[in-house]
Amino acid sequence: MTKEFCQANHLFVGTSGYSYGEWIDSGFYPSGTHSSNMLDFYTQTFHATELNYTWYQMPKAPAIERMCTKVPKNFKFAAKLTRTMTHEIKKGQWAKEVMLYRQGIEPLIQHQKLLCILIQLPPYFKRSITFRNYLAALLDELAGLPVAVEFRHDSWANDKVFSELERRKVTLVSVDEPDLPDLFPRLDVITNPDLFYIRFHGRNSKGWRSGNMQKQFDYDYAHWELAKWAATIKTAMMQNTAGGGIFFNNHVRGQAPKNALHLIDLLLKDHHHQKT
């Protein structure tokens, strides 16, 4: 039922990555699951995931090709843009990197498995002339591909930015993260009628700037927090777009899949409620 509901509404709910050993302890994966079988188990519950490793390493077409053949027909991947184009930009080289990236993810396009490319920008990527020009040039290079942009600095929370993204049909990623100074606020602005995109990072203010992912993303969403989002998704987001991607990044101790399933339940309940 869950899957049918998501498919019918073009909703792609999942987690940021799927290969976490601690998800065995949390019970999401059966005891003794080999890492190579995790994707199989994952696809039994969700039908989308974010590819985290493409941030660390330029995607390689043969590996992506093999991945595409392992997942069901309707499964989608959101592929993170590699760090050499977001965090470690080298003048004069990044355009070549975009070309390599395009080649690397080609199998995702061929197999119709690409939900979008996720450009996750670092906190120091402020709205300066240099960075504005760079982002514009980067989006030009990625033209023709579905793209979602996640800002980590609040200087980008600006109507001019939103209208430019709208003009380009680029999705603004709605982020759920702690209420800390300089962080991009929680917004439900739609800039692309084809796709909305939400990333749940958790609201762990204490661990956010610890430099340790296990602390940064250690958060268990409360029922009311997800219920509020479910209402927003139903009213402000699903009605104004053709589909959406919702991903939980609070992977620590299996909280991400648990919260993702809870959110689907809430959306499903609302859906039944409206029907009756």
Task: Write out the residues near other proteins by the rule CB under 8 A.
Answer: 17, 19-22, 24, 32-38, 52-53, 56-57, 62-63, 66-67, 212-214
If the CB atoms of residues 35 and 112 are measured against other proteins, the closer one turns out to be 35
| Cβ distance to other proteins smaller for residue 42 or 196 | 42
Question: What is the rounded CA–CA span in Å between residue 230 and residue 260?
Answer: 11
Distance in Å, CB of 77 to other proteins, minimum = 13
Shortest Cβ 218–other proteins spacing (Å): 10
Least separation, in Å, of the C-beta of 62 and other proteins? 7
User: Which 3 state secondary structure label does DSSP give 173?
Assistant: strand
Distance between CA atoms of 93 and 172, rounded to whole angstroms? 26
CB nearer other proteins, residue 5 or residue 53:
53
**Least separation, in Å, of the C-beta of 58 and other proteins?**
9
Pick 94 or 229: Cβ nearer other proteins: 94
What token pair was written down for 249?
Answer: 């990044």
To the nearest whole angstrom, how small is the minimum distance from the Cβ of residue 6 to other proteins?
A: 25
Please identify, using beta-carbon distances, which residue of 56 and 224 lies nearer to other proteins.
56
CA atoms of 203 and 220, how far apart (whole Å): 9
CB neighbour burial string for 235-270, b if at least 16 within 10 angstroms, e if fewer? ebbbeebebbbbbbbbbbbbbbbbbbbbbbebbbeb
- 87 with 122: CB under 8 angstroms? yes
